[in-house]
Chains A and B, each alone.
Chain A
Amino acid sequence: MYRYDEFDQHFVDERVAQFRYQTQRYIDGTLSHADFLHLRLRNGLYIQRLAPMLRIAVPYGTLASRQLRMLAHIARYYDKGYGHLSTRQNMQFNWPDLAEVPDILADLATVQMHAIQTSGNCIRNVTADQFAGVAADEVVDGRPYCELIRQWSTAHPEFDWLPRKFKIAINGSASDRAAIDVHDIGLEARRDANGQVVFDVKVGGGLGRTPVLGSLIREALPDVHLLTYLESILRVYNRYGRRDNKYKARIKILVRAMSPEVFRQHVDAEWVHSKDGPTTLTREEIDRTVAAFTPPPYETLEADASLAAKRLVEPEFSRWVHTNVAPHKRSGYAIVTLSTKVTGVPPGDVTDVQMDAVADWADRFGFGEIRISHEQNFVLPDVRERDLFELWQLARGQRLASANLGKLTDIICCPGGDYCSLANAKSIPIAEAIQRRFDDIDYLYDLGDISLNISGCMNACGHHHVGHIGILGVDKKGEEWYQISLGGSAGRDSSLAEIIGPSFSRGAVPDVIDQILEVYVASREDGERFLDCYRRIGIDPFKERIYANAH
């Protein structure tokens, strides 16, 4: 893991003091509500429906056990004993006291953490594949480059006051677990013919009100030029992105208005000036950062021969291994996803006790490292196969062993109207109603991989456009209704979902999901996934089934 040097620590400490000064002026009444808003957002602090919400940065979703213990402490001491894993791999607290936020940030700084640029119209936390560094299908470990971008983008003199928020993601594996097609900038890291790291750069993807997949504007960008190229993109966006309408202010609107080709020409015209300039990365700086992510001291292990026997004895364990355990680069090790998706608990919510437990498991069964996935689950990246059974038993005790990864009930869900002041509708009760309706694990397994994503408003924090089934909360004359879409995907075969028709009342949603699944089960060919079936038969059979009685 990356560890702060003196410079990083000094910067974060000064930033805490800066925010303390700003908060004090707000409390004194010398800094206006409207002006403080811009400053607090850049330090992760929203004022929400019920209380402030503090979003803490977990850079590229990677945490050390001592950092997770600090988050548990914050949940316990400053909050109501729980936190929320966000769809951007961050941790959110829903009940901090505004006056205490500088103290929380000071506590975080003691474990090399912060909340810098986790909200506001600036470059946000850079996200990555949650399996980066350990995935069996990895080509390039994106984390060092995420860290280099994190540093470059932190309090950038020119790009902290953009037209709108700006999200960058890096993927370096055969699978795309970072959903790079739906980011403002999506970077595909790969190796060229000489083995050098290069990036394919996509720009202008995003969800929200106008979902778009990113356009490829540069292929095989050498890694040393990464920052100057990003700077060129950001400058074009900062100067020409719309600022008159927040719904048209994302870079995707600019790219579409200019056309990707013309946008690329603008970027290249900028890049002529900065390419090879001082912002160009040096080989030494890249090597230093890569060295911070050198693999931990793995043991030389054979694949665990006893695993098959344990699975035979304990079918539930076997199911969990099948769904929640992914192949690791190293023989005898596995990547474990601890699902937070338990019926009755809002997706992504974790208690202080669970956080402490996960931190302990990371130390005991791994090398003290934890990841947060954008699907709002915890990941333990380095578990010895021989320890899987014991870990599973412990995880069950903490309700973190749902064997539903990638299944219908592994729902991605924003906080929605229960917490968020932007929401048009609640999303958590919808998730719970669906989890309650489809609680038969055999049926879930029979259905296979289905992603169901719920957003409480157009801002699409629940990524509803890229769910195989997407649910969007809408406001109809003061009432909460839900629009359902089908066929989205965030992976390597990304696509945007299509709306099936008029929206539904909250109570009707589980029945509609049931009908969608019935159409799938009746139509699927041998072993065909939901998404593939949908792509083959199209939306009409689903529409006909659902709206049959409405005619």
Chain B
Amino acid sequence: MPTLIKDGRVVSDDWVLREEVADSAVTPHTIVPASYALAHGEALSGDIGIWLPGDGEPDEIAPLLVKVPLIAIRFAAMNDGRGLSLAVLLRTRFGFTGELRAIGEVHEDVLHYMHRCGIDSYQLPDGHDPQVALTAMKSLSDFYQGSVLEPRPAFRRFARGRK
């Protein structure tokens, strides 16, 4: 079973991820493909989540953003950063305030990037130690540039330079 990390700890996952949905009977707390949700938008209840690949277009799912409490972004590989840009867009341009989850090839050493791009839960695949992930997430305590979490770069937050 993959491990779910949220709010700086390992938590139990009360969502079920469906790679595909063949029938229209979707039980609550299921994460369905965004394409399915778009096709069945009216029928969706408040506790259905959606997932989309890292190269998904946020414009296309814009109608769903007010309805879904959770969006999962699938990372195709550890070194595929497309999902990071997608997360930034969902948070900043589309104003998504629900849970943003990383799924797929989620690597413990990439969590701190995801975190700063506005992703707030991480489904760590089997074979990855969640304790390592939690430690690695805290390895850098502050950053030069702004992010979803802290839009102000360092130079707008405090006086840079030697005293």
Contacts and interface: CB of A to CB of B under 8 A. Distances in A.
Interface stretch (A153-161, A361-369, A392-400): A153-161
Given A18-B140, A152-B144, A161 B81 contact: yes
Nearest to A39: B109
A285 interface: yes
Nearest to B162: A5
A14 B85 contact: no
A38 interface: yes
A160 B81 contact: yes
Given A21-B139, A154-B144, A161 B113 contact: yes
Contacts of A30: 129, 132
A249 B78 CA distance: 17
Contact of A279 (B116, B153, B162): B153
A410 B137 CA distance: 47
B100 to A, nearest CB: 13
Main SS of the interface on chain B? loop
A159 B81 contact: yes
Size range of the chain A interface in the assembly: 35 or more
A198 interface: no
B160 interface: yes
A420 B152 CA distance: 41
Contacts of A159: 81, 84
A152 B144 CA distance: 6
A18 B109 CA distance: 9
Contacts of A243: 80, 82
A37 to B, nearest CB: 9
A11 B117 contact: no
A160 B145 CA distance: 13
B156 interface: yes
Interface of A: 3, 5, 7, 10-11, 14-15, 17-18, 21-22, 25, 30, 35, 38-39, 121, 151-152, 154-162, 227, 235, 238-239, 243, 273, 277-279, 281-282, 284-285, 288
Contacts of B132: 25, 30
6 contacts: A11-B142, A155-B113, A161-B113, A235-B85, A238-B81, A278-B146
Contact of A239 (B85, B93, B110, B135): B85
List the 8 closest pairs (A to B, CB-CB), nearest first.
A161-B81, A157-B116, A18-B139, A285-B155, A151-B144, A278-B151, A157-B147, A158-B84
B109 A22 contact: yes
Interface residues of B, number: 42
Interface in B104-163: 107, 109-110, 113, 116-117, 129, 132, 135-136, 139-148, 151-156, 158, 160-162
A157 B110 CA distance: 9
A3 B154 CA distance: 16
Given A18-B140, A38-B78, A235-B85, A157 B160 contact: no
Contact of B140 (A15, A156, A162): A15
B27 interface: no
A458 B107 CA distance: 31
B76 to A, nearest CB: 8
Given A152-B145, A157-B147, A273-B93, 9 more contacts: A14-B139, A14-B140, A15-B140, A18-B139, A151-B144, A157-B88, A157-B143, A161-B81, A278-B151
Nearest to B57: A239
Given A15-B140, A18-B140, A156 B79 contact: no
